[in-house]
Amino acid sequence: MAKVSFINALGLVSLVLLIQRGEATTFTVGGSKGWSVPSDNGQVFNQWAEKMRFQIGDSILFVYQSASDSVLQVTKEDYSSCTTTSPIAKYTDGHTEFKFSNSGPYYFISGNKDNCNKNEKVTVVVMADRSSKNSPPSPSPSASPPAPGTGHDEQPPVASPPMAASPPMDDGTTLAPSVESNPPNDNGAASFVISFVGSLGAFVASSLFLAF
Sheet holding 95-99, edge to edge: 26-28, 59-63, 95-99
Q: Indicate the helix (H) or strand (E) that contains 195.
A: helix 187-211
Listed by start position, the domains of the chain span: 20-130
Q: Indicate the helix (H) or strand (E) that contains 59.
A: strand 59-63
Q: How far is CA 77 from CA 80, 83, 196, in A?
A: 5, 8, 120
What string of pLDDT tens digits covers the 212 residues of the chain?
A: 554 454 454 444 444 444 444 578 999 999 888 999 999 889 999 999 999 999 999 999 999 999 999 999 999 999 999 999 999 999 999 999 999 999 999 999 999 999 999 999 999 999 987 665 544 444 444 444 444 544 444 455 555 555 544 444 343 333 344 444 444 454 554 454 455 545 555 554 555 444 54
Give this prediction's pTM: 0.54
What's the CA gap between 48 and 31, in Å, rounded? 9
CATH code that applies to domain 20-130: 2.60.40.420
